[in-house]
Amino acid sequence: MPMAASSSESDVAPILQVAHTSAHMRRHCHEALQSEGPCIVLAGGTRAERQQTFGTIIDLADQNALQFRAASLVGERRKHTQNSLRKVFDSGSEERALLFVDGLDTLLTWHHVDEPATTDEDAMPSTAEYFFQRVESYLYPVVLGVDNAVHVDALRQCSPHLVITHGSPEGTAV
């Protein structure tokens, strides 16, 4: 598989299209993990490909890891989903663990039955906004996986240190 790294601005995370065992990818992951509260995005490809890349990241991080599928965290009501997310990040903090939340497409496109229809500034944050706030305040590494790379732009709110795409250049799952 070809390798490419691109970055249009110095404050934008490098985007890598790499093979899982690539030394280039390992170097970029290692550099990202040296940052404070690093965030790495794995986009596209199959779940198995993202899982293999996550295994490489665990090896480089040399710390406990907790892994979740976003679909298992989503509840019917917003407060249930936010409570699940709070528990994930609190558990991770207690263990000083690297977190991997895969299948975030579900969370990014989910609409709760009690989601406010207003954009009132006083309204509680949406579930996605709440998730992004938790990612940004988490002190340990976070790896975020999306099935479809179209969601990478939404994940830029988390200020990722590195974006790794799998599969086609667009990163969509096959």
- The pLDDT tens digits for 62-74 are 899 999 999 999 9
pTM: 0.79
Q: Are 5 and 24 in contact (CB under 8 A)?
A: yes
- The pLDDT tens digits for 124-159 are 568 888 999 999 999 999 999 999 888 888 888 888
Q: Is residue 12 over pLDDT 90?
A: no
Q: Is residue 85 over pLDDT 50?
A: yes
Q: How confident is the model at residue 15 (pLDDT cuts 50, 70, 90)?
A: low
Domains in the chain (CATH in brackets) are 31-166 (3.40.50.300)
Tell me the mean pLDDT in the region 15-24: 64
Q: Are 13 and 160 in contact (CB under 8 A)?
A: yes
Of 143, 126, 127, the C-alpha closest to 69 is: 143
Of 30, 24, 31, 52, the C-alpha closest to 145 is: 52
Query: How far is C-alpha 161 from the chain's CA centre?
Result: 11
What is the pLDDT, as a whole number, of residue 103?
Answer: 94
